[in-house]
Structure formats: C-alpha cells, structure tokens
Structure 1
Amino acid sequence: MCEILGLHLRNPGLYSRLGELLTGMLCEMEDRGAHSAGVAVYGDQQWSPPGRGSVSRLEVPAGPEEAAATIGALPAEVRTSCPPGPEYAGYVDAHWRELIERYQPDILWNDMGYPGDPAELIRDYYTDVPEGIVNDRFWSGAYDVATPNIARRHEVDARPWEVGRPIGFSFGWNRQEGPEHCLTGTQLVHLLLDVVSKNGNLLVGVAPDDRGRIPMLQQRPLRELGRWLDVHGEAVYGTRPWKTAESTTQDGLQVRFTTTPDALYAHLLGPATGDIVITDLRLPVEAQVVDLASGEPVPTADGQKGTVFSLPAAADPVARVLRITPLP
C-alpha cells in the first residue's frame, strides 16, 4: 500500500454514499499499480477521540525566528499536541491499555508526549511484559531507549539510544526540498559512523513521494551509503564502541572508533593519505594495521604525539578505515 486515505465520518448517513464519493478517486489511484490505494474509515465513538477539532494546514515560514513567531502567535489549543482535559487523557490511556492487554507488545514506542502522567501505564506494562522496552517519547516516566531527533552525542553513551534523521529537513515528503536541504552520501556515512561509535542506532527517514516512489534526491545518498558499507561493513555491523569516542588527526581530520572482540577500527572521515597521527592513539609494537578497502598493510612508527600511520596514496574520498589488531 503506497496511498492510504483516512476518513473520519461525522455523519453516519454518508456510509451509504461511500462508493459514489470515492470511486473516481480510487480508480485514479489504482492506475498507479496494483494494491496502490486504500481507504481507512472510522466514525464510531469508540475510535474517535472526544473533542477532536478539524485539521487545517498551517503555512510556516522557513526562517527559524519567523517560524517561532508564527507558531507562538497561535492559540494555546492549536499549539498543544492533544486536546486538554481528563476525557481525552482517559481515551488515550484506554487505547494503550487495550494494546498492551491484547497483544503484550515487546516494544512500547511512543511519539510526541502523553496527555497526563504515563508512570502508572508504563509500570503496568513492565508488570505484564517484564522484558518490554519503552522509549523516552512519553516525555516522563521510566524508559529504556533515548530517541533524540537529529541531535548527536559527544561521548559514548552506555544507555541504548537511537537518533532519527530524515534525508532532508522534513520527516515526510516535501516537494520543496532540493539538494541543498538533503544529506549527501558522504554526510550520511559520517553521520552513521558518528552514531555507532557512541553506542547508538541511526534511524534514517525516507519519504516516498505522492506516487509512492522514493525520489532520486533521497536514493542517491542511500545508494552511496550502501556502496561504502559493501566495502567497509565489517567495521560497522556487529561492532561496539571503543573506550574513546572520537579523536582527530594532527591535521584536524575527524576520527571515530568501533571495535570487535579482536580488532579496533579507526574511521578517518575523509580521504586521508600520507603520514598521519591520530591524537592520543599509541599502538604497541606488535600491532598490525591494514587498510580495510585495499587490504594493504599500513606501516607504523612511534611518534612524539602518537603512532604514525604511513597510508597508501589511494584513498576512499568518503571515509578511510584502518583495521588494527589485536584490540589495544
């Protein structure tokens, strides 16, 4: 399903006219391919939130100051993410509890807050599902996984976390986005390495367009990431952070680290060549260093500020990876 229309029928009398109202639209959508259209209709009181107002489109200026002023000028009931009051809070709580009681999900993954204090709900969930996992987007109460949007860490975080980052600025498809708004393949590789080196997961947001296709603007960085991982995947998949989160070379090139039980991977975020020193990284004399892409051994020597790596001339322009064994 790549096109789904949700209808909330406030007038039950319209049920008998659904075919008349939707046939033309569904035929046009179906022309785009088999199973390309769907309709979800809800109108009964059980699944309709009490007090829910109409939905309208808000045009927000691009600049952060103008956008903040526009949103700040809205009435409080528009700015808040859900209707206030105990009636709506009870409605939401009942839905969560029905989900937990019927299906006992392994993961309770919320977004954008909770109308009230979720502490009791989360406590009851852990009672029913002792090994369950809760994210931090209830905005209060216990949680297992932090899920910041776009933000990054500067140190290794021992607690599980996952950063969400769309390819562009929008978490949904935005026809106004151009190349200047989107991550390049190089930026996406660097973002992945930065996140995994600090014990995080990267959730990349990909937005199909109005015909259910992934725009080339988003495909390009994803394919570049895939090509890089085809060569360097062993330095990412199944790895863990090292004791040091990040470093730089003597020339200021950013460096990230990942490990396996028997190796350290140094990720040079750029096309490093020649003699380099990674700040504060000093290897024992028995260490073996290999350029991961070429498989060539990398000569090393002891320097004043750390081990000197003599890198081959050819280098991946995105990120060069050195495999160091044994794990220092």
Structure 2
Amino acid sequence: MASLLFEYDIDILWCDIGGPSTFPQLGASWYNHAASQNRQVVMNNRCGANQSDFVTPEYATFSALLSQKWESNAGMDPFSYGYNSDTPSNAYQNATSVLTELIDIVSKGGNFLLELVAYQYELLFSIRSIGPKEDGSVIPEEAEPLRQVGQWLKAAGESIYGTRPWFIQPEDISEGSTNVRFTTKPDAFYIIAISRPSNGTLKTTAPVPIKEGDQVTLLGGNGDTLKWSVTDGTLTVDVDGDELDKIPLPAWAFKVEYSTT
C-alpha cells in the first residue's frame, strides 16, 4: 500500500472487503504527500479507517439523495464480477436495466463506474463489471448493452455528464404522473422519464423550476421546442410519439433551458 500511495502517486484508493489494513498508519502522510504535489486524492470506505471520501454499495441504489458521496458497483452478470461460463445468456443485464440504474444513481448524486475484472477501464459512472474471457474477449451479452447505452449517451448525455442531483426526489409517483428523475446544471434543468410519457404528454407534480420564457426540448429528438404548461401544480410537456420513437432506449431526457431574460 505504501508503494501505491508514495511511489505510484495514485489519486484514488479503492479498497475491497473493508477489513483491517495499514491505511490508518499511512493515511495522514498520504494526504500531506498529495497536498505537497498540489494533488487531490480520495479513498473509499473499505480501507479499514474511520474516515472515507465516498461509500461503495454493491448491487444497490438508494431511495433518497445522500449527503455523502457514493459510488454503486454491480456486474453485468448478476452472479459474478468476472466471466462465468455457467451464467445463461438471458440472465445478463440488458441495456434498459443498465440505463435505468445509471439515471437513478446519477439523479441521487452517485457515481456509476465500470470495472473489467483483470484490468480496469472507466465508462459511464458505476462499477458495472464485465468479465473478459481467458483470451481477453468480451461476450456480446456484456458488450452490446453497454454499446446501446453509449448510443443513448451520445444523444442525451448532457443530462448525465457534469450534472448535479436535485434536492427533490420523485420516488412517490402520483397517479397519472410520469416516472421521472431530475438532474441540474447552472443553466438548465433535466427531467428524465424512465417510463414512456403516455398519450403524448409528460406529467410531473414536482415543483420543477420552470417559468415563462424557458424552453423545453427532447434531447436526441428533432430539436423542436415543446409546448409546456403548469396547471394546479402539475407540469405538462406535450411531445409527439414519433419524436419519442427517435430515442434508442426507453428513457427520455427533457431539457428545460432557462431564459436569460
């Protein structure tokens, strides 16, 4: 561990298991060492210390926004972080489940990091593990869903990358409302529907920060400004079914662009 901290100058210390380690004896020196190099470093909650920079639940998300930084980790294979030849093809996570998990985690302030067992490679924002076979190849059941999520991110990634969670979490869905998650940026607000808006309308009773002059568009759609209204506390956004069909996976990111006037 001393070699990792002081010779390789790592920026992230990600321990597993959470048992005793030498970090409590090395931690203060590591932080001071990094500060002397003008570097910021972080450590997860499994290094045997009573202090951590972020927590790392496995195969889990949370029902509410956390005050502490967190990073979820899971596998494309629900039974293994590495390649398991006994796992049937239909048991792997599909693109819809991966994307829904990504949206939910990010909307609650979490990270979603991909780990390849045998070597590591960052993608998206969780430990979403894929296991290479002995020849280094990755089976289609693990690779193709990630490619599909990548296509969605090309169209709607601005609702994920560089965003922050909103303090209101729409876990309790009122009747007639769309199942949505929220993310924010200084100049925009994002409403991500993880169920298809029914009858050509997105509806939410959450007090979305929108006012006259703000424009709403569907990321990945045709770019047209969508008609919206707020009646009795319910925001309604009208969107044509053909435009919804342009989105490659069942998650629709609506951007509320704040007016500058």
Compute the TM-score of the two structures, normalised by the length of structure 1.
0.64
The equivalent of 1:111 in structure 2 is 16
Query: Structure 2: how far apart are the matches of 1:318 and 1:107?
Result: 34
The count of residues paired between Structure 1 and Structure 2 equals 232
**Aligned with 1:291 (options 193, 215, 218):** 218
Q: Is 1:123 the equivalent of 2:28?
A: yes
Read off the aligned partner of 1:263 and give its amino acid letter: A
In structure 2, do the counterparts of structure 1 residues 287 and 123 end up closer, same or farther at CA, with 3 Å as the change threshold? same
The equivalent of 2:94 in structure 1 is 184
**Aligned with 2:235 (options 292, 298, 307):** 307
Cα distance per residue 1:143-179 (max 9 Å; x no partner):
1121111111222234322111111121011111124
Q: Is 1:255 the equivalent of 2:180?
A: yes
Query: Structure 2: how far apart are the matches of 1:121 and 1:278?
Result: 50
The equivalent of 1:232 in structure 2 is 156
In structure 2, do the counterparts of structure 1 residues 296 and 249 end up closer, same or farther at CA, with 3 Å as the change threshold? farther
Deviation at 1:118, TM superposition (A): 4.3
**Aligned with 2:196 (options 236, 249, 271):** 271
Query: Structure 1: how far apart are the matches of 2:30 and 2:75?
Result: 30
**8 Å Cα contact 2:165/2:183 also seen in 1:** yes
Deviation at 1:256, TM superposition (A): 0.8
Q: Is 1:133 the equivalent of 2:50?
A: no
Moved more, 114-123 or 257-266: 114-123
The equivalent of 2:120 in structure 1 is none
**8 Å Cα contact 1:111/1:138 also seen in 2:** yes
Deviation at 1:271, TM superposition (A): 2.3
Identity score, percent: 27
5+ residue gaps in structure 1?
Answer: 1-95
Query: Structure 1: how far apart are the matches of 2:215 and 2:232?
Result: 20
Read off the aligned partner of 1:307 and give its amino acid letter: L
In structure 2, do the counterparts of structure 1 residues 249 and 265 end up closer, same or farther at CA, with 3 Å as the change threshold? farther
Query: Structure 1: how far apart are the matches of 2:4 and 2:212?
Result: 58
In structure 2, do the counterparts of structure 1 residues 277 and 121 end up closer, same or farther at CA, with 3 Å as the change threshold? same
RMSD over aligned Cα, in angstroms? 2.2
- Secondary structure of 2:7's partner? helix
- Secondary structure of 1:214's partner? coil
For 1:202-221, list aligned pairs within 5 A.
202-203=112-113, 204-221=128-145
The equivalent of 2:64 in structure 1 is 155
- Secondary structure of 1:289's partner? strand
Query: Structure 2: how far apart are the matches of 1:320 and 1:141?
Result: 41
Cα distance per residue 1:72-107 (max 9 Å; x no partner):
xxxxxxxxxxxxxxxxxxxxxxxx234334334322
**8 Å Cα contact 2:177/2:203 also seen in 1:** no
Query: Structure 2: how far apart are the matches of 1:211 and 1:147?
Result: 30
- Secondary structure of 2:190's partner? strand
The equivalent of 1:320 in structure 2 is 252
**8 Å Cα contact 1:164/1:205 also seen in 2:** yes
**Aligned with 1:164 (options 73, 76, 81):** 73
- Secondary structure of 1:245's partner? coil
Query: Structure 2: how far apart are the matches of 1:102 and 1:280?
Result: 50
In structure 2, do the counterparts of structure 1 residues 116 and 211 end up closer, same or farther at CA, with 3 Å as the change threshold? closer
Structure showing greater relative contact order (alpha-carbon pairs closer than 8 Å, 6 or more residues apart): 2
Compute the TM-score of the two structures, normalised by the length of structure 2.
0.80
Query: Structure 2: how far apart are the matches of 1:305 and 1:144?
Result: 38
In structure 2, do the counterparts of structure 1 residues 222 and 116 end up closer, same or farther at CA, with 3 Å as the change threshold? closer
**8 Å Cα contact 2:21/2:47 also seen in 1:** no
**8 Å Cα contact 1:241/1:258 also seen in 2:** yes
**Aligned with 2:106 (options 193, 196, 204):** 196
**8 Å Cα contact 1:292/1:323 also seen in 2:** yes
Query: Structure 2: how far apart are the matches of 1:276 and 1:99?
Result: 50
Query: Structure 2: how far apart are the matches of 1:194 and 1:149?
Result: 15
